[in-house]
Amino acid sequence: MALVLATDDTGGPEIFASLQGEGPSAGTPVAFVRLSRCNLACTWCDTAYTWRFEGGVDLDRRPHRDGVAYDRKANQVSLAPKDVAARIEALGQKRLVITGGEPLMQSGALADMLEHLPDIEVEIETNGTTKANAHVDVRVDQYNVSPKLAHSGNAAELALIPERLDFYANDPRAYFKFVIAEPEDVDEVVALQR
C-alpha cells in the first residue's frame, strides 16, 4: 500500500526539515511529511493543493476562498512507505511531524512507514474527525488536534464529531488548537470545551 503525498514546488514529495512552528513543540527541529487528501474542505485552507483538484469527483470541487483547483498529477505523488521513511531518515531529525490534508486517512500506509522509523518521535496534525489505527497510535508521541469551527465552511456533523473530540480530550498526548477568525469564534470553542 502506497502513501499519497503532496508535492513541493519542484514536483517532488513534500518532505523537508524545518522548525515546528506551532503547538507545544514550537521551535523544535523536525522533519515534516505532508500527505495528500482531506475529508474536510475549509474555505480558508492554506493547503488546498492537497484536496481541491480539477475534474474528478464532487469532493475534489468543494468550495475554497480563492476558487483555484489544482492538477492532481502535479500535486500528488505515491511512494512506498519504506521509500518515504528513507527520505525522512536522511534528514537526520529526531522528531517527525506528519501533516496534510488529513494524515489519518492513510493510517494503514502510515503504520508501514513508521515500522521503518523505530527511533523517531512522532507528532501527527489532525482535524480530529478520525483516529489512528492501533499500529499508528502506539507510535504517536503527540497529537495536534485542530477541530474546524463554523467559519471553516464545514458542516458541524462532519467537522465536530463528539465521540472523536471526547477521544482526543481524554488522550494526554493530544493538544487542541483552534483557528479564530473573529471574537465570536471563542464562544464556539468554549461551548465545545463544555
- Give the pairing type, strands 15-19 and 29-34: antiparallel
**pLDDT 10s digits, 67-123:** 777 788 889 999 999 999 999 999 999 999 999 999 999 999 999 999 999 999 999
Q: What is the pLDDT of residue 99?
A: 97
pTM: 0.92
Number of domains the chain is built from: 1
CB 142 within 8 A of CB 24: yes
For residue 175, the domain's CATH number is 3.20.20.70
Residues 127-153: what's their mean pLDDT? 96
Range of the domain at 100: 3-193
CB 130 within 8 A of CB 148: no
80: buried, middle or exposed (CB in 10 Å: 19+, 13-18, 0-12)?
A: middle
**pLDDT 10s digits, 20-51:** 998 899 999 999 999 999 999 888 988 888 88
